Amino acid sequence: MPKNEKLDTKRHSLAHLMAASILEIFPEAKFGVGPVVEDGFYYDVHLSRPLTPEDLQVIEKRMREKVKQNLRFERSEMPVDSASEMFRKMSQDFKVELLHDLKTRGTTAVADLDDPNLVGSNVSEVSVYKTGPFIDLCRGPHVAATSEIDPESFRLTRISGAYWRGNQAREQMQRVYGVAFNTKQELEDYFVRLEEARKRDHRKLGRELGLFTFHQWAPGAAFWLPKGTTLYNTLADYMREVLFPAGYVEVRTPLIYNKALWERSGHWKHYRKNMFLIESENETMSLKPMNCPGHFLTYACEVHSYRDLPIRFHEQTPLHRNEASGVLSGLTRVRQFSQDDAHCFLTQDQIGEEVERLIRLVQRVYGDFGLRFSAKLSTRPDEFLGQIATWDHAESQLKAALESARMAYSINEKDGAFYGPKIDFDVTDAIGRNWQCATIQLDYAQPENFDLKYIGADNSEHRPVVIHRAILGSFERFIAILIEHYAGAFPVWLSPVQAVIIPIADRHADYCRKVRDRLAAAGLRIEIDSSVERMNAKIRNAQMQKIPYMLVVGDREQEQGAVAVRLRSGEDLKSKPIDEFLAIAREAITSKK
């Protein structure tokens, strides 16, 4: 069993031990689901009173006792009706409901329950696991016995609210979270990383650095303050500077479309719950949640020759997705955002070369931000559109492109989208966390849906292939990643304020303004700290704001036409002529340092 699967199996088993412990302490407890999540596990439980942090300590102690008892996880299978009767006698109503859905629909996934195609897709037998006296509905797997779990390798961490099956009209559950690792040392290392992550939290730093804020009247949509807007625009302009020489053209498509567009693309059937709908003049409209269909209409409005391809559309206009309020989180999960979105229209024979260009683009961009990254190739799933030969050819081209770009990659078998294989890129930040960002997806379905064409060398109509690609993902989420990666201390080229001038006395104000005007004219983002604070306090404030350069001006600097340069790290570069400082700053900006 692979290392991660083995650890996830332990985490799954700990979720059962937690539920068993809760049931012993609270006999009235009714359980929902208890899956493995990143770094640990949780279980949803319905109780007669709210749990407290003190309760978590008691539950955790009981779990450790069970681990030391070397209890076995015993699997058995039984008919659905027998399982339903057993859980009904145990007063586990939520389990009975899940079993009913398995029997009638063959699934417990809420999103699929209304699918008419699932009628009759019933499950006749289910598996249950017994651990001591505790019995749970579960497909597994689990450890053979609790002796495989280090009793000091886990901890219960928090309690949150959750509605049963995500439905606000249903019962309010308590979601009890735990984290678990292979050893006590790994657990301790996790909490060290967690503390570092708290210090770098983009929500905290966003407030402290004056980048963005939120308001209850606009949930999931950021208010970008002046410094944050500068950062946002710098990032957007950087992407344009990278993309335009690479053959991209920028387009702007409507924000609102008639539902007919989404019916054509398939989003109306599969994505409508995540769309903001508008009723106007007896028409049903929607704010766009993605740019793809608009780009297809843009492509289709003109006749294209094979000589025109590849055509690369790039767009940065706002998108809106109706995310549930409970999952909104800072800039990483929002309702309004923009992407560095692009769609490439090309011939089948151009796939390999174009994908290699895209991989090198990803390498360049992430290199400029100092981000390490890895690639995953996802191949043909069991359910797919098109011919196997076409898929095999596309996958071989993606592999060849990765290898030509000398890009190491792993393979996710059968994890491609139904419309084509894809390459996903995970970036690793300064404290070792992975974030899925860039994606390169081949699409054979939408060119068919939108009847996209080009005129080939044989003067006949042909169907183009579409590549969906994003490098940063959403600007909002990528900015959150950058804030936490740099801990707010952005490289000079990204810093909203690149230098602050600090006059020692009022008599230096006129000279400071002249310095500011000269440096601003040269393209630097610069401010003057004209507050009544003493010089050391101004320097400390600038360091707290993580401004790269502090330019202190006193009598000597004024007489010599210079500035005393300090770095936010505390290093003193001494007095420099203005032109010399400007050369230092320009070098840092050009080199992306």
- Token pair for residue 4? 């991660």
In a domain, 517, yes or no: yes
* Helix ranges (DSSP H) in 136-258: 184-200, 202-208, 226-243
| 353 and 379 both lie in a single domain | yes
Q: What is the pLDDT of residue 118?
A: 44
SS3 304: coil
Give the CA distances from residue 420 to residues 381, 382, 417, 469, in Å, rounded to whole numbers and listed in that order. Answer: 9, 12, 5, 13
Cα–Cα–Cα angle for 556, 558, 563, rounded to 5 degrees: 85
User: In the listed set 455, 486, 517, which residue is the last one of a domain according to the structure?
Assistant: 486
Question: What sign does the dihedral 358-364-369-375 (CA atoms) show?
Answer: positive
The reply to whether 369 and 421 lie within a common domain is yes
Looking at the structure, tell me whether residues 474 and 452 fall in a common domain: yes
For residue 120, pLDDT beyond 50 = no
pLDDT at 141: 94
Residues 266 and 249 placed together within one structural domain of the fold: no
- pLDDT tens-digit readout, 469-524: 999 999 999 999 999 999 999 999 999 999 999 999 999 999 999 999 999 999 99
Q: Do residue 586 and residue 469 come from a single domain? A: no
117 with 79, same domain: the answer is: yes
Residue 1 has pLDDT above 50, yes or no: no
42, β-bridge pairs: 177
Tokens 């996830």 found at: 8
- d(CA 196, CA 25) in angstroms, rounded, equals 35
Co-location of 272 and 369 in the same domain:
no
Structural domain contains residue 493: no
Q: Tell me: cis bond preceding 421? Omega within 30 of 0 counts.
A: no
Contact 515, 501 (CB under 8 A): yes
Residue 204 lies in a domain: no
Q: What is the dihedral of CA 181, 186, 192, 193, to 10 degrees?
A: -70
Name the percent of the chain lying above pLDDT 90: 80
Q: Which of 419, 170, 389 is nearest to 292 (CA)?
A: 419
Pairing of strands 372-378, 409-412: parallel
- Number of helical H runs and strand E runs in the chain: 18, 29
The reply to whether 173 and 244 lie within a common domain is no
With tokens 């890009």, the residue in question is 407
Range of the domain at 155: 3-198
Q: Quote the DSSP letter at residue 120.
A: T
| 57 within a domain of the structure (yes/no) | yes
Residue 137 near residue 22, CB atoms below 8 Å: no
The DSSP 8-state label assigned to residue 464 in this structure reads P
Q: Is residue 464 part of a domain?
A: yes
pLDDT averaged over the chain?
Answer: 93
Say yes or no to pLDDT of 336 above 50: yes
- Any domain includes 111: yes
Q: Tell me the per-residue pLDDT of 563-584, one tens digit each, with 9 for 90 and over.
A: 999 999 999 999 999 999 999 9
Helices (H), 46-128: 53-68, 80-89, 93-105
Q: Give the length of the chain.
A: 593
Q: Does this model's pTM top 0.85?
A: no
Q: Specify whether 85 is located in the same domain as 37.
A: yes
Find the CATH number of the domain harbouring 37. Answer: 3.30.980.10
Token pair, residue 358, equals: 């895209």
Domain boundary, last residue among 486, 521, 547: 486
Residue 67 and residue 83 in contact, taking contact as beta carbons nearer than 8 Å: no
Look up residue 451 and give its two tokens: 């009847």
Q: Residue 367's domain is classified under what CATH number?
A: 3.30.930.10
How many structural domains does the chain have? 4
**What confidence score (pLDDT) does residue 121 get?**
52
**Is the pLDDT assigned to residue 111 strictly greater than 80?**
no
The predicted structure's pLDDT at residue 414: 87
Same-domain check for residues 423 and 538:
no
User: Using one digit for the tens of pLDDT, what is the confidence trace for 299-329?
Assistant: 999 999 999 999 999 999 999 999 988 788 9
**3-state DSSP of 519-554:** HHHCCCCEEECCCCCCHHHHHHHHHHCCCCEEEEEC
pLDDT at site 485:
93
- What is the CATH number for 522? 3.40.50.800
**Catalytic residue set:** 292, 321, 339, 341, 343, 422, 468
Q: Are residues 98 and 123 located together in one domain of the fold?
A: yes
Same domain, 459 and 520: no
Q: Confirm whether 212 is domain-assigned.
A: no
* 206 found inside a domain: no
